């Protein structure tokens, strides 16, 4: 197949962040497919434009024989204000449409992944222009998550967002939901026919984790980081409003009498505030910050840790999400401290691979960590359980191939009619 993927935040090689489609497209290429990616020039966590794209409108990059990426202009106002972020979204809609209009290739399918929800505009128009069906992927329930976290408050914009969401679902041939809760909401509350809703979730990248586990010297790395005698809890992800990482700082204060160190890897709007707050609270020895690193490097940090933390703000919408880094922790045989309720809690409890932590409850967070400190064998047990469960249910290679089969919307020949006797 010839696949057009519209993904505003498709990562550069070596970038840190959610690499779902970097891995998916690699596997699809191995299966003999050609993938064209239309993406943006701004990194989703830092909000900064990659230096090599400054002053340019569209840049073509050949990733491999079967994968080509077109980087399209995105306004650098992304992290300056809410209006700036909106303008960044719409600037990508405009630049991506210009890019797609210039493409001469005929595509078999257009795959659009959100958020941001505004990429639906690009998908709908591109589908009509190219006369090609499109699949719309829901990685986060928008606009609900933006409303619940206080990011979206304008009533006219909320109304517009719900209208756009409805248009995306109406025009898409298939809607892919990343969690069971998303799928249930799409069918029961958004009233999509069950036959239209697919679920290919986030997954574990065992191709990376197993290589790191087998060859990486995590003892030496821990010494290099100065945490060889510590119990290290690593968080990987954005440092934004939705993540509410203040709860990690509050937990660190309750664990000053222990050897626990939190390692926070990533970037976001609240990172500097979190750093300043650590200094103010004299937590610099208990909380360490690491700038975004490549996916391979992330796995090294995880393998050198004792546990992984998945953390989000306490709002109802987040009860429907899977944290993608949870699967990385599981792939590296690390127990999960799950400070997200709902389907993420169910995942950890079903797999018996960690402890549920009540979101925004530092006392509960600290207590669950103390359970590991008092029972080191439980750390290994939960880590091994997570690895086994993820291998069976969330292997990226398996799910990528399943997704590929569902993307093939070519007409099937009718079954032969049975003759009556």
pLDDT at 373: 98
pLDDT of 145 reads 79
Longest dimension (CA), the chain: 86
Whether the Cβ atoms of residue 200 and residue 406 lie closer than 8 Å to each other = yes
222 and 86 within one domain: no
What is the predicted pLDDT for the residue at 190? 93
**Assigned domain for 411 exists:** no
Residues 264 and 129 in one domain: no
Q: Considering the entire predicted model, what is its pTM?
A: 0.86
**Domain, as residue range, for 120:** 2-199
13: closest CA among 204, 296, 207?
A: 296
Q: Is the Cβ–Cβ distance between 277 and 180 less than 8 Å?
A: no
Shared-domain flag, residues 183 and 310: no
Q: What CATH number does the domain containing 253 carry?
A: 3.40.50.2000
Residues 314 and 229 in one domain: yes
What per-residue confidence (pLDDT) applies to 80?
Answer: 67
Residues 275 and 312 in one domain: yes
Exposed, middle or buried, 377 (CB in 10 Å: 0-12/13-18/19+)? exposed
Residue 182 CA, chain-centre distance (Å), reads 15
Specify the pLDDT at position 16: 58
The count of structural domains within the chain is 2
How confident is the chain (421 residues) per 10-residue block, as mean pLDDT? 95 70 93 96 78 92 95 81 78 96 94 93 96 94 79 83 93 94 93 94 91 90 94 95 95 97 93 96 96 90 97 92 92 97 96 98 98 97 98 95 86 43 28
- In a shared domain, residues 221 and 123: no
Report if residue 418 sits inside a domain: no
User: Both 230 and 194 in a single domain?
Assistant: no
Quick check: bond before 143 cis, omega within 30?
yes
Could you tell me if 155 and 42 lie in one domain? yes
Same domain, yes or no: 64 and 144: yes
pLDDT of residue 149: 72
């Amino acid at each position: 197949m010839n696949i057009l993927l519209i993904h505003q935040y498709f990562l550069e090689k070596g970038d840190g962040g959610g690499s779902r489609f970097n891995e998916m497209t690699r596997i699809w290429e191995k299966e003999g497919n050609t993938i064209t990616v239309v993406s943006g020039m701004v990194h989703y966590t830092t909000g900064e434009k990659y230096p090599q794209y400054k002053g340019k409108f569209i840049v073509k990059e050949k990733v491999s024989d079967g994968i080509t990426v077109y980087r399209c202009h995105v306004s650098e106002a992304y992290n300056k204000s809410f209006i700036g972020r909106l303008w960044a979204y719409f600037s990508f809609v405009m630049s991506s449409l210009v890019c797609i209009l210039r493409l001469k290739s005929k595509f078999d399918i257009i795959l659009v992944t959100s958020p941001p929800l505004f990429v639906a505009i690009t998908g709908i128009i591109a589908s009509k222009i190219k006369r090609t069906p499109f699949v719309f992927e829901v990685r986060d329930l928008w606009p609900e998550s933006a409303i619940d976290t206080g990011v979206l408050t304008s009533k006219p914009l909320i109304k517009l967002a719900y209208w756009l969401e409805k248009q995306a679902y109406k025009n898409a041939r298939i809607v892919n939901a990343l969690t069971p809760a998303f799928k249930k909401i799409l069918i029961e509350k958004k009233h999509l026919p069950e036959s239209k809703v697919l679920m290919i979730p986030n997954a574990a990248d065992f191709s990376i984790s197993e290589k790191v586990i087998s060859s990486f010297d995590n003892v030496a790395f821990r010494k290099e980081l100065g945490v060889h005698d510590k119990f290290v809890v690593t968080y990987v992800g954005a440092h934004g409003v939705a993540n509410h990482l203040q709860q990690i700082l509050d937990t660190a204060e309750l664990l000053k009498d222990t050897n626990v160190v939190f390692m926070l890897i990533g970037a976001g709007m609240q990172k500097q505030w979190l750093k300043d707050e650590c200094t103010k609270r004299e937590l610099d020895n208990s909380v360490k910050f690491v700038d975004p690193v490549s996916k391979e490097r992330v796995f090294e940090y995880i393998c050198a840790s004792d546990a992984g933390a998945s953390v989000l703000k306490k709002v109802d919408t987040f009860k429907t999400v899977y944290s993608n880094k949870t699967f990385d922790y599981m792939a590296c045989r690390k127990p999960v401290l799950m400070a997200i309720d709902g389907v993420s809690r169910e995942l950890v409890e079903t797999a018996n691979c960690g402890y549920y932590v009540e979101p925004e409850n530092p006392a509960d967070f600290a207590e669950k960590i103390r359970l590991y400190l008092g029972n080191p064998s439980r750390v290994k047990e939960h880590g091994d359980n997570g690895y086994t469960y993820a291998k069976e249910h969330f292997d990226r290679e398996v799910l990528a191939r399943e997704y590929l089969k569902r993307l093939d919307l070519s007409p099937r020949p009718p079954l032969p009619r049975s003759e009556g006797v």
